Amino acid sequence: MITGSLVALITPMTQDGHIDKPKLDALIEHHIASGTHGIVAVGTTGESATLTYDEHADVIRQVVQTVNGRIPVIAGTGANSTHEAIDLTQRAKDAGADACLLVVPYYNRPTQEGMYQHFKAIAEAVDIPQILYNVPGRTVADMSNDTVLRLCGIANIVGIKDATGDLVRGKDLIERTPDDFAVYSGDDPTAVDLMLLGGKGNISVTANIAPQAVAQAAELAIAGDADAAHKVDQTIAPLHSGLFVEPNPIPVKWAAAQIGLCEQKIRLPLTDLSDQYHETVLKALKDSGIKG
């Protein structure tokens, strides 16, 4: 089972809008050196929605090759087309990813039965560990806990990223799913509390900026040390709010540029962080001890 701090990695880009492959390699090395427990490549934070199909597969391949087995790599391969999700998942398996992260289909608003059949079809088509991803704030469609329980009976569906931020709902998932099914937080502000309830890790945006602290907080929370986990988490709490003043990954990519991790480049229809929020994010970096 993959556990701990799993960074939802940004995808660095050059000023002309191409994938910055040297910076991507540097980010991977930075995370491994900082104690990050796993990398999620080309998820929401990695701008999966604006990468071309080939770029998407190329980034997964590069991350797998650069990591070279040192930590797990989870590839974002979700789509609102079941056929496309199957193809991306197969490409990720062929590239050597350890697992795939599959978002609830967006825009077309499937029913609970449609979601079940979608994920079942992918799991049956590609033999790789698969993690469901429920983020109704983005997809509109919201996968119920009962649907998750139906899906966790499929052998290679091994977990879920719950980005609802609803701890009552997360606790219900943890209590009702089998012990070998991992519930991960997808919400940095509530991640420590979910892990203290039995969650297995945090698929984190904040880890892009504060990898050591997020990893330490995850280790402590999974070990059940509530006081120590909260103490560490409190040091980076300003980031948990500051990195979401505009839709992710706008603030985190801007913040990463301020501390030299990447260029300040993001693809349309996303735009650079609005001027009115520059001071807010800079203050979050300073208050968290990231930038002097």
Contact 102, 78 (CB under 8 A): yes
The Cα–Cα gap between 221 and 214 comes to 10
Tally the residues of the chain. Answer: 292
Q: How many other CB atoms are found less than 10 A from the CB of residue 121? A: 14
277 is catalytic: no
Contact 27, 275 (CB under 8 A): no
**Computed over its alpha carbons, how large is the radius of gyration of the chain?**
18
Judged by DSSP in three states, 95 sits in helix
Of 120, 113, 162, which is closest to residue 137 (Cα–Cα)?
162
From residue 89, how far is each of 85, 86, 194 by CA, in Å?
6, 5, 28
- Which residue in the block uniquely carries the two structure tokens 């698929």? 203
93, 116, 133, 253: which one is catalytic? 133
The Cα–Cα gap between 246 and 272 comes to 10
The Cα–Cα gap between 46 and 23 comes to 13
23, 93, 161, 253: which one is catalytic? 161
161 is catalytic: yes
The region that residue 130 occupies, defined by phi over 0 for left and psi between -120 and 50 for alpha, beta otherwise, is beta
Of 11, 83, 81, 79, which is closest to residue 40 (Cα–Cα)?
11
One-letter amino acid of 67: V
The token pair that represents 240 in the structure block: 């948990």
Q: Which residues are catalytic?
A: 133, 161
